C-alpha cells in the first residue's frame, strides 16, 4: 500500500479576514525560475517507474493440515519500482519450468535476509537477458537449512536457464556456494528429500 501525503495549508485564510499585503520585492531577485525548479522537483517525486511485469508477494504458512494452495497467502502486488508470485508447480506458467536453488546450511538470518533482498532486486530490476523466463522467487525457512529458489518458465531452454544462473551467481556473490537447477517435474515425483539437478554452477 502506498500512502501519499497531500499538502494542506495549516492556516487557511479567513474569508472575511483582513487582506494580506504583498511583501515588497524591491531590491530582491526574481524568484520565478527558483519556483519553477522546485515545482519540477516535486513533480519528479510524484512520478513512478513502471516495471515490465506486475509482481505479487506470497506468504507460505507451515501448516501440514492445509493443502499447498490454502497455505499460500497473498501479501501484495506491485508494478512500479516505488511500490516495491503465486508459485505452484501445477500452474500453466510453471509446470514445464524449473528452479535455481540456493541451499543455505545453518546460515545466519542476516545472510538469508540479504540474499533474499538481492534476489528481489534482480527480479524487479529485470537484471537478466531472459527476464521473460523468470516466473518468481521463493524463500523457505526451515530448521535444518534455508532455501532460496528462482523459478523459470521453460526447463528445456538451456540458454535462458544458464544465463539466469550465471547472472545470479555474480549478483549474489555466492563464492563457493553451489547453485543447482532442478526441473519441477522431477521435484513433483521425488521419493526422498533429494532432487536431481540438471545444471550446477
Note the pLDDT of residue 122.
92
Q: 91-200 architecture in CATH?
A: 2-Layer Sandwich (3.30)
Note the pLDDT of residue 180.
94
CATH 3.30.760.10 spans which residues of the chain? 91-200
Q: Is residue 184 within 8 Å of 99, Cβ to Cβ?
A: yes
Question: What average pLDDT values come out for the chain (201 residues) when binned by 10 residues?
Answer: 32 41 46 54 56 83 85 83 63 84 86 92 91 89 87 94 94 89 84 80 91
Q: What count of other Cβ atoms lies within 10 Å of the Cβ of residue 117?
A: 10
Q: What is the reported pTM?
A: 0.59
Cα separation, 56 vs 45, in Å, equals: 24
Cα separation, 61 vs 41, in Å, equals: 43
Instruction: Report the alpha-carbon angle 28-33-38, nearest 5.
Output: 110
Cα separation, 46 vs 23, in Å, equals: 31
Amino acid at each position: 500500500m502506498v500512502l501519499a501525503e497531500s499538502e494542506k495549508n495549516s492556516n487557511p485564510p479567513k474569508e472575511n479576514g483582513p487582506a494580506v499585503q504583498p511583501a515588497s520585492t524591491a531590491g530582491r531577485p526574481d524568484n520565478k525560475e527558483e519556483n519553477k525548479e522546485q515545482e519540477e522537483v516535486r513533480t519528479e517525486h510524484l512520478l513512478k517507474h513502471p516495471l515490465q511485469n506486475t509482481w505479487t508477494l506470497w506468504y507460505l504458512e507451515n501448516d501440514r493440515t492445509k493443502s499447498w494452495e490454502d497455505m499460500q497467502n497473498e501479501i501484495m502486488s506491485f508494478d512500479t519500482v516505488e511500490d516495491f508470485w503465486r508459485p505452484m508447480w501445477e500452474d500453466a506458467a510453471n509446470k514445464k519450468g524449473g528452479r535455481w536453488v540456493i541451499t543455505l546450511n545453518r546460515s545466519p538470518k542476516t545472510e538469508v535476509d540479504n540474499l533474499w533482498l538481492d534476489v528481489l532486486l534482480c527480479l524487479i530490476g529485470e537484471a537478466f537477458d531472459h527476464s521473460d523466463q523468470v516466473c518468481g522467487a521463493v524463500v523457505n525457512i526451515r530448521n535444518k537449512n534455508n532455501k532460496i529458489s528462482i523459478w523459470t518458465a521453460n526447463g528445456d531452454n538451456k540458454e535462458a536457464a544458464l544465463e539466469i544462473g550465471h547472472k545470479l551467481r555474480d549478483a549474489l556473490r555466492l563464492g563457493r556456494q553451489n547453485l543447482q537447477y532442478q526441473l519441477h517435474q522431477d521435484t513433483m515425483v521425488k521419493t526422498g528429500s533429494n532432487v536431481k539437478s540438471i545444471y550446477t554452477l
